[in-house]
Structures are given as C-alpha cells and as structure tokens.
Structure 1
Amino acid sequence: MSGNPLIFSAKFAPQIRAERVQNNKKIRALAVVLPQFHPFPENDEWWGKGFTEWTNTVKARPRYKGHYQPQLPADLGFYDMRLLQTLCDQANLAKEYGLYGFCYYHYWFNGKMLMERPLQEILKSDRPDFPFMLAWANENWSRRWDGKDKEVLIEQKYSLEDHRQHATYLCQKVFSDPRYIKIGGKPFFLFYNTHIIPDLPEAVKIWREVARENGFDDLYLGGIITSSEFEVNAQEVGLDLVIDWQPDWSHLKIIPGLIQRIKNKLGWGQTYRKIDYAEVVQRMKSKPSFTQKHFKALVPGWDNSARRKNDAFIMHDATPELYEDWLDHTCKTTTIYSEEENFLFINAWNEWAEGNHLEPDKKWGRAFLETTKKILSKYA
C-alpha cells in the first residue's frame, strides 16, 4: 500500500464503522401498544357505558372449523390501563422477554386527545422504568371498530398552526421525559398515515422548528408506510426514514373485487377474507426490501373478526414457529444504520380485537414471547 496511511484510514473510516456495526448487529425491538383498554367519555357515548377493547374481544366466535376465536388473555387478565400497576405489569413482561420498549399510539384531533390516560399515568410517575415513544394515529376516528369505516365520529383535520400546537405540546409535556426514546438526543416520533398529511414538507419543518425552540437539537421523524402503494420518499419530504409497516395489505394481494366487497359489507355469503399465516410469512420474506432508509416491522398474527361482523380479515393458523421464522428473517435482513438507529417494530403488543398480540393468551400462553426472546437474544 502506498500513500499516507492516515489519509487512507480517514477515507475508509465510515465504511469500516458501518461494516463493524453490521457484523456485530444489535437490534432493539419495540412493541406497538393500543391504549384502548379503559373506559372514557367518548367511548361511553359512541358504544355504550363501560366500552373498552375487551367488549369486542370477548364477543368473538369462530367463523369456520379450526378458527381460533375468541382469543382471550392469560397472565395479565382483562386489565384496565388507567391503573399504573397494569402499565408496570405490561412493561415488566416485555422487558423480561427481550423487548427494548413500547411504541404507544397517540390520538390528537386539533388539540383534543383520546385515550391519553395511560400515557398521563406514566408521565406522572417514575414507573415503569421502560423506554417508550409515540406514533400519531393521524386518521379519522370512525366506527372502524365494527367495520363501519365511513361513519366518522371525529374528523382528523390538518393545518400548519395545528402542527405547531401539537409539536409544542409534545415537546413540553412528553419528549422531555428521560424514558422517552431518542436517537442522537433527538426524540423519535412517528406519523402513521404519512401519505395523507397535506403540505407534509412544510409540516415537518414546523415540527423540527418547534423542537429547537423548546431546547432539542432536532427530532428524529419517521413515516409509517401502511401499504406499498402509499410509499413516501423520506428524503423528499424531510423525514429521517420510513417504517416498512405490517400488515402490508397491497403486497398481500388479497383485495377483493367490487362485487365481492359489496357482498362482504352486506354479509352475503362468506363474511371474511382468509389467508394462511404461513403464506403471509413467505410473501413478506420474498418482498423486495425498501431502497430508502427504513426500519422493518412484522405481526405475530391478525384476525379482526372480533371487531368486524362483515368483511373480517383473518391470517389463519398463526403459530409461534411461523412467527419465529419471520422474526428471524427480519432480524437477519435488518440494516443497522448506526449504534442508535437499530430499531425493529412488532405490531402489536395488545391488539386483542384484531387477533394481533404478544401478550399471553389462553391457547399459546407465553410461547410468542419466548420465541421473541429466543431470536432477539442473538442481537442483544
């Protein structure tokens, strides 16, 4: 080798660091948490006194032979997320099985919040000692719980001023919490339906500006891609990266035709769409990886027949072994961008009425959690 060795070292240092990170891969898994497991006034008004996610969960019944319903909780029982003890029990269980933290869904409608009670309980206490972050579920609040998507209960409206108000609230009340997940000192925050936010580049600038006004160097902003057809270019709109979310409905290619959709909605004939979870795993493993900077995601199952009388979607026969195969593949193919940019999302921790949960149930017990720990321990 000729030339100045110091110049050579400086030139290839970034490449060497990147290779070192990949060869000693460490992954931090975040489980997505739905805070719908407690009564609040709007739910009482819309669904009846005392309604929570458990109300739908326990009403589920099998639609066909071999259909696993109802899916009922085991170790944690029918908990109430207004209780700090519940939040601590969830965090302790997640920590025991190798999860790094929780990503809570956050609901904001022009200054009005829904289901904020669990987060408020966490912020008021130093417990649980468990990292957390937020994903803004920026969509209309509709009767999606029973399949009536078009009946809007609270409309999600957008304005640049509302973005400023929203960012200010979070910077001052939430992001400063020492347990809040940060990357390079920057609070990590997600937009769920990134593609529907008007004036997104300008909105992102406002979020970053507000963060700096409130003492942060910046924010680390991600855009969730809920379907391959809604992909957003993070660099073009000013985001740090995107999340390759699951389920990726368009890539599953099971969207029915118009006539079948009408029949599903009206309950004529078969009232559900079904795909084997094994096929989902194979399709997602063969799916082309995003070319832009991204974090990956996967689901331990899916069955929203507890919510939807008609047009339910079911991933049939989700087993810990198949989930292990998917999780192992996801970890192996995850790109680690830096020592702090190494997250993976498991959707979800507790979507009980969507048949999508890591929390122990009556059939599998802690098997999905044990599998999670088995795979993640390779990357701890």
Structure 2
Amino acid sequence: MSKVIKPIAIYLPQFHPIQENNEWWGNGFTEWTNVTKAKPIFKDHYQPHLPADLGFYDLRLEESRIAQEALAKANGIYGFCYYHYWFNGKRVLEEPLDRKIKNAKEDFPFMMCWANENWTRIWNGGDTDLLLQQDYSEEDDLNHIQVLISYFKDNRYIKVNGKPMFIIYRPKLFPNIKKTIMLWREAVKKAGFPDLYIGFAETNEYFNGIINDGFDFSFDFQPNFSNRPATLHDSVIKRYFHEFLKTLKIPFLNKYHLIYDYEEYARMQMATPFKQKSFPCITPMWDNSARRKKNYFILHNSTPQKYKIWLQHIINNYKWVNMPEPFLFINAWNEWAEGNHLEPCQKWGTGYLDATKEALNNNNKKV
C-alpha cells in the first residue's frame, strides 16, 4: 500500500520579545536582532539572510502564524515541530503555540520537541554564563508530562496510531532517561491515550538509545556534525578570504571556523545508509555565523537545486514501508540565525519551497 510522504518542518518560536530576552540581551531582542546584524565574513558568503514574502514577522500575531501555515500547506509541508522550552516548571517562548491552541483558524498539524539544554550565553558567541538551568527529577518529570498532555489532547497534535508524537533533543543529559520514559508512558495512558510515541534527535552523541532506553524512534538530525567532508581546501579558502586576511583578528583557519561545501556534504549524507527506526531528515542550508561570533559551522554554496537532489534521494531510497508513518523531517522552517530556513528569503525567494514541492510531486507524493 502506498503512503503519502508527510514532511514535518522544525519550527523556532523565538520571533517575538519576551521578558527574559529583554533582560539578557536588551529590550526588544528577538531572533531577528541577530539576523539583521550578520555580515559576510568571506567573499561570496551569503549573509545576511533576510526574509522576503513573510517579512520580519512577530509570532504573537495571528496573521503571521496563519500566513506561515498557508505557505507551508501550499508547498507540501504536513506539519510543524515546535521547539519546546521547559525549565522545572518555567516555560519560555511558549506564547506562539499557546495562541495557536486557542485559535481554531490555525488548523495546521503540529508536534513538539523538547530542547532540553541549559540556556547559556555561548550560543550567541559570548561566555558560558548560565541563564536557565535544567534540573532533572521524578517530580519534575511528572509535572512536565501533565503540561504536555494538555497539548497532546488537541486534535491538531500529530499522533501515530493514536499515540502523541514527542521528541527529546538531547536524551544523554538525563540522569535516567529510561525511567523518565516509563513515567511518561504511564501518565499518558492514564490520560486516555494508547501510549506515547517518543523519539530523540539522532546526533553524534546519542545513537543507540532506541534499544537501550525505550524510545520508539529517532530522527536523523541534520546537519550531522559527525558525518562531514573535509573543509574547503586551503587554496579555495584563501581565495574566499583574500580581501580579509590582513584584518582578521582570529587565527587564520582556526579549527573551529569550519566551512564546508554543501554539495559535498549532501553527497556524503546520501552515501550513508539509513538506520532502522530512524526517520530521515534534511537541511536546506546551514550557516550559524549570524548567531555565533566564533565556533560557527557553515555549509557554503547551497542552492535549491542541490537541496532538491538530496531530497529526491531520500524520497526515492528511504524504506518508508518500515515506519508506521512516512514522516520526513526538514531542519528547519525558520531558523534564520542559523541560515537554515524554508521560508522565502531575499536571495532565493520561494526557491527552497518550490524545490520541496517539486520533489514530492515527482513521486506523486506516494511511496
């Protein structure tokens, strides 16, 4: 029996001001603050990434969220996976999703991924000052799952055979993730669901959790920082940096300043076998130099056509029949400060959305 591929795009809700960001980064800070400050750091470097069709939106506005959903639907996206932030009962950046929940006009399917890292200043190229800390406990697990269940009960929430689908970004940070999953499964069943369909982001630090810790699935988080080609050759980088060599205040070719060719990177991913119980994932582009002043990671020279080739490979070669639903994760819908977005930009317009729709339609969306 054929299945219709269901792309789920990772969704960042940080495009509106909140009290915490005002205190840490200055009044009015949103993700757009980093995006608009970005500058190219070598010749032909695509920065800044600036929005086109949807503009510099504020996610508190119904009009902005509805416009996103309409654009996603029109281009074959099945749903959004919202990053969820929880720190021992304290929630951050929850307002866009909470407003959606209350608005029947926003009918786009959604699910959640708990971004369970500490919040520090390091992501913005600063020091390691701790802003919000994760403290794991059984009590917190029980409190947390009750809040999650309130979202699971929404009829727009993505489920697999009636089971709410939920992702933990970094399971390795838990003292006993297996126990947490057991507690959560019990609570979800008591709430009337058949079970929880729980997964994790498969990164270079965590590969074998499905068997050992009771997960149902993983997804192949992209970019996969442990599976990458050599950096651009020395002579090529020197050409890109030619006009800047004398002004650089950092050691040239510092090992943390990693620049890769997107096509070579994609070719390496396509040569890597798919894993069992792991949903595929793709990134249209990646460049987090807008967010990080150092230790950035750049996939250079991405184009919609190169992305489409990788996407078509996944559609044609992944064993969709082995999974209960044909989910394809795309990282991301709107990670603008990581140069990682399907949303239209001033350089490519709707090119990446067009490529997504075309690749799906090439197979009549059936696998």
TM-score if structure 2 supplies the norm length? 0.90
The question of whether the paired residues in 1 share the 8 Å contact of 2:229 and 2:265 is answered with no
**Length, aligned pairs only:** 345
- Runs of 4 or more, structure 1, over 6 Å off, are none
- Residue number in structure 1 paired with 2:214: 238
Matched residue SS, 2:184? helix
Residue range with higher mean Cα deviation, 155-164 or 230-239:
230-239
**Aligned mate of 1:249, from 214, 218, 225:** 225
Deviation at 1:337, TM superposition (A): 4.2
Matched residue SS, 1:174? helix
Deviation at 1:352, TM superposition (A): 0.5
- 1:350-361 pair list within 5 angstroms: 350-361=334-345
Matched residues, percent identical?
48
* Structure 1 Cα separation of the partners of residues 127 and 356 of structure 2: 33
* Structure 1 Cα separation of the partners of residues 148 and 290 of structure 2: 33
Distance 1:149 1:128, change over 3 A: farther
The question of whether the paired residues in 1 share the 8 Å contact of 2:39 and 2:47 is answered with yes
* Structure 2 Cα separation of the partners of residues 28 and 322 of structure 1: 21
Gaps of 5+ in 1: 1-19, 256-265
- Residue number in structure 1 paired with 2:246: none
Residue range with higher mean Cα deviation, 230-239 or 125-134:
230-239
* Structure 2 Cα separation of the partners of residues 186 and 149 of structure 1: 41
Matched residue SS, 2:47? coil
- Residue number in structure 2 paired with 1:277: 262
- Residue number in structure 2 paired with 1:45: 23
**Two-structure CA RMSD over aligned residues (Å):** 1.6
AA of the residue aligned to 1:301: M
The question of whether the paired residues in 1 share the 8 Å contact of 2:332 and 2:341 is answered with yes
AA of the residue aligned to 1:189: F
* Structure 1 Cα separation of the partners of residues 38 and 63 of structure 2: 28
* Structure 1 Cα separation of the partners of residues 230 and 207 of structure 2: 19
Matched residue SS, 2:86? strand
AA of the residue aligned to 1:183: V
- Residue number in structure 2 paired with 1:310: 294
Is 1:201 aligned with 2:178? yes
AA of the residue aligned to 1:45: E
The question of whether the paired residues in 2 share the 8 Å contact of 1:267 and 1:310 is answered with no
Deviation at 1:129, TM superposition (A): 1.1
- The superposition leaves residues 151-200 of structure 1 with CA deviations (integer Å, 9 ceiling, x where unpaired) of 221111111221111111111x2110000000001110001112222211
Deviation at 1:150, TM superposition (A): 2.6
**Aligned mate of 1:334, from 311, 318, 323:** 318
TM-score if structure 1 supplies the norm length? 0.87
Gaps of 5+ in 2: 232-248
Deviation at 1:25, TM superposition (A): 4.2
Is 1:107 aligned with 2:85? yes
Which structure is higher in helix share?
1
Matched residue SS, 1:120? helix
The question of whether the paired residues in 2 share the 8 Å contact of 1:194 and 1:225 is answered with no
- Residue number in structure 2 paired with 1:13: none
- Residue number in structure 2 paired with 1:15: none
Is 1:191 aligned with 2:168? yes
**Aligned mate of 1:225, from 202, 208, 211:** 202
Matched residue SS, 2:53? coil
- The superposition leaves residues 106-151 of structure 1 with CA deviations (integer Å, 9 ceiling, x where unpaired) of 0000110110000110111112111000000011111133123632
